[in-house]
Amino acid sequence: MSEAAETKPRVKLLKYNAVAMWRYTFHNEKCGICRTHITQRCLDCVSAGNDVSECKLAWGRCGHCFHVHCIQKWLKTTHTCPMCSQVWEAERITGHNAADEDDSDDEM
Most confidently modeled of 13-17, 22-26, 84-88, 104-108?
84-88
pTM of this prediction exceeds 0.85 = no
Whether 91 is covered by a domain: the verdict is yes
The Cα–Cα gap between 87 and 47 comes to 30
The Cα–Cα gap between 59 and 2 comes to 63
**Residue 35 sits in which domain range?**
3-102
Number of domains present in the structure of the chain: 1
Whether 62 is covered by a domain: the verdict is yes
Say which CATH number the domain at 77 has. 3.30.40.10
Kindly report, residue by residue over 44-79, the tens digit of the pLDDT: 888 888 888 888 999 999 888 899 999 999 999 999
Whether 26 is covered by a domain: the verdict is yes
Whether 108 is covered by a domain: the verdict is no
Kindly report, residue by residue over 2-58, the tens digit of the pLDDT: 555 677 878 888 888 888 766 656 556 888 899 998 888 888 888 888 888 888 999
DSSP 22-38: -----S-SB-TTT-SBT
Q: Residue-wise over 69-92: b if at least 16 C-beta within 10 A, else e? A: bbbbebbeeeeebbbeeeebebee
Whether 107 is covered by a domain: the verdict is no
